[in-house]
């Protein structure tokens, strides 16, 4: 995979190539993207450029042995971690993973789980993955250069796995490179995310179609004004939406807007205009707010699915948001 074969913005690709050309390569890079974006292809192109012995004009040659092995995901010094279901590990599923990437390097998360034959709800990155990777990194690079680890969906790491990998990401051995690809950066363990160079690909998260987008604006205005009564009135309006599916759509719309708030607060610029009033909310809310608010909206969505009374759900949601904002 060459930079020219990806769908990423040329200026971003130039920046990535410049890191390698200058020798100032961050030991850990976290690519954030909407599902099905160009991050995995871009990560492969970055590695191919890093390992290529004949790179020129800001791109890898695409023909040398290193380029060939990386494009086929068989380079001995490049390791991949992705969510699986026990007792299987990423290493045991590499044949299926390679086939998926060869077919479509811009695959979606659901396509990964389908290709690996597992349920998305039970797929995680468990501590066994961390042990396996740390064991591999304890050995010298087989080709004498960099050792690299690509972690697809680090938000799926359980706490044990994240804590095991933390020290390796925080204090890596010389010529050790971590590339993380996330669809939900706000869910990545804070201690890991803070050690990474953040790069946003694919623009702001696109909110789903939702009829009354002003509901979220009014709710946030009331919360920022510390007007709990007004916020509860908006909560009643949400509870009175015509169906439970409409209420779930509102929660999804709000969650996507809050992800953009999170990215802006982390100093990650979003190409184009941020969704809704994310820029204003990012400036006025605590940095802990987006993560905590996302958990509140996800909780509300789960309660909607369980047929809990709508007025109770959204009264509770407003109360929780008023405490954390």
Domains observed in the chain:
3-200 (3.40.50.300), 214-324 (1.20.272)
User: Under a CB-based contact definition with an 8 Å cutoff, are residues 192 and 162 in contact?
Assistant: yes
Tens digits of residue pLDDT in 148-189: 999 999 999 999 999 889 888 888 888 899 999 999 888 888
CA 236 to chain centre: 33
Cα separation, 317 vs 216, whole angstroms: 13
Using CA atoms of 68, 71, 77, 82 in order, give the dihedral in degrees to the nearest 10.
-160
Tens digits of residue pLDDT in 30-69: 999 888 888 999 999 999 999 998 998 899 999 999 999 9
Task: Categorize the per-residue pLDDT at 274 as very low, low, confident or very high, splitting at 50, 70 and 90.
Answer: very low
pLDDT of residue 270: 66
Q: What's the pTM?
A: 0.72
pLDDT at residue 269 is higher than 60: yes
User: Under a CB-based contact definition with an 8 Å cutoff, are residues 307 and 271 in contact?
Assistant: no
pLDDT of residue 170: 84
């Amino acid at each position: 995979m060459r930079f020219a074969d990806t769908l990423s913005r040329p200026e971003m690709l130039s920046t990535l190539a410049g890191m390698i050309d200058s020798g100032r390569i961050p030991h850990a890079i976290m690519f954030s993207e909407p599902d099905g974006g160009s991050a995995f292809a871009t990560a492969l192109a970055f590695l191919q450029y890093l390992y290529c012995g004949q790179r020129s004009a800001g791109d890898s040659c695409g023909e040398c042995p290193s380029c060939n092995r990386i494009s086929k995901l068989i380079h001995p010094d490049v390791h991949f971690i992705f969510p699986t279901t026990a007792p299987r590990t990423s290493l045991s599923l590499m044949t299926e993973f390679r086939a998926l990437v060869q077919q479509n390097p811009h695959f979606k998360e659901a396509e990964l789980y389908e290709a690996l034959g597992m349920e998305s709800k039970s797929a995680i990155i468990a501590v066994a993955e961390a042990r396996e990777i740390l064991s591999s990194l304890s050995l010298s690079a087989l080709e004498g250069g960099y050792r690299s680890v690509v972690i697809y969906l680090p938000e799926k790491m359980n706490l044990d796995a994240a804590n095991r990998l933390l020290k390796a990401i925080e204090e890596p051995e010389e010529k050790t490179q971590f590339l993380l690809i996330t669809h939900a950066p706000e869910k990545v363990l804070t201690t890991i995310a803070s050690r990474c160079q953040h790069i946003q690909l694919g623009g702001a998260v696109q909110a789903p179609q939702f009829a009354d987008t002003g509901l979220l604006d009014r709710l946030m205005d009331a919360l920022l004004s510390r007007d709990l009564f007004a916020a509860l009135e908006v909560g009643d309006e949400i509870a009175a939406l015509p169906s439970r599916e409409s209420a779930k759509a509102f929660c999804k719309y709000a969650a996507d807007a809050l992800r953009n708030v999170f990215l802006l607060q982390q100093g990650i610029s979003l190409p184009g205009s941020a969704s809704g009033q994310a820029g204003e909310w990012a400036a006025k809310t605590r940095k802990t707010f987006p993560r905590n608010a996302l958990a509140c909206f996800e909780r509300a969505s789960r309660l909607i699915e369980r047929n809990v009374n709508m007025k109770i759900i959204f009264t509770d949601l407003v109360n929780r948001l008023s405490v954390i904002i």
